[in-house]
Every structure is written in C-alpha cells, then in structure tokens.
Copies of this chain bind each other. A is one copy, B any other.
Amino acid sequence: MRPIVAVIGGSTCSAEEAAWAGEVGRLLGERGAILVCGGLGGVMAAAAQGARTAGGLTVGLLPGDDPRTANPYIDVPLATGMGEMRNAVIVRAVQAVIAIGGGWGTLSEIALARRIGTPVVGLHDSFKSSVDIPRVEGPRAAVEWALEHARSNTV
C-alpha cells in the first residue's frame, strides 16, 4: 500500500511556507505517497502543486458541498459537506501528518491527530511553536520523519 500523508496548513500562507509546502509535496510525490489535504489554497495548494510536479496523487477533503472549490492541483476532490468536522477525517484517514504554519484550523488538526495517535511533525517555525510536537528543520526532514513514523494500522 502506498503511504498516505496529510499536509496541513493555512489557506493563506507566506511565500516561505508555500515554498516549503511545495517541496514537501514534491518529495512525497517522488516517494510514491498519496497526498491528502483540505483541498483549498495556501499551503494546501502549494503542496498539491508540488506533488503533481513529481507525478504524485493528490486528494482534497473539502469542507463544503462543491468540488469546484478545490485548488487546481487536486486529482480527487471530495466535497464532504461536513465543514470543519472534515479536519477530523483528514487526520484519521492518513498515516502521518506534516504541519506547515496555519491557524486555528491547523491547530485543531494537530490536536486531533495527537488525540487519536496519528504521528504529526511540524516544520521548525510552524504554528504554535509552544505546542508540543516534534519539529524538523526542512521539507526533506519532514518527509523522512513522516514516512518513517507512518503508522501501519489503526491505533
């Protein structure tokens, strides 16, 4: 089975965060991972675009009812109609999570992931530096960490 990894972060983001997300996406694509994200802009779009450049497969779990709200780099746009509740599905459905920046929505995903035992790693100055999760220094280290810690089964 291909690894399934989520990249989470804000729907708007800094240029640096976008660059990191793009590189994370590209590396995940090269490693054959399926990229899952929230399907919208910012970090989500940058990661999906990166994965596409490496031939990766991208899935967007959208909060609303319309698949056309997905960013253009999403291969499988799934409009859940669940609102922010879809955050819980994202971290449940993947084997590991990479967090890049973000706000309250991203923090909710980090906390839900920790709660249910999905491994989560943050890039070094990711949102809420005070939140106690493992940190790595760059995209390559983040992808290595995620693939190494990816859980093989339910927790």
Interface residues of A (CB under 8 A from B): 1, 4, 34, 36, 57, 59, 64-68, 75-85, 87-89, 92-93, 95, 103-105, 107-108, 111-112, 114-116, 128, 130-131, 152-155
Contact = CB atoms under 8 A, between A and B. Distances in A.
A51 to B, nearest CB: 13
A82 B79 contact: no
9 contacts: A4-B77, A65-B155, A66-B154, A76-B76, A82-B85, A85-B88, A104-B112, A108-B111, A130-B130
Given A79-B92, A83-B81, A67 B116 contact: no
A147 to B, nearest CB: 15
Nearest to A62: B93
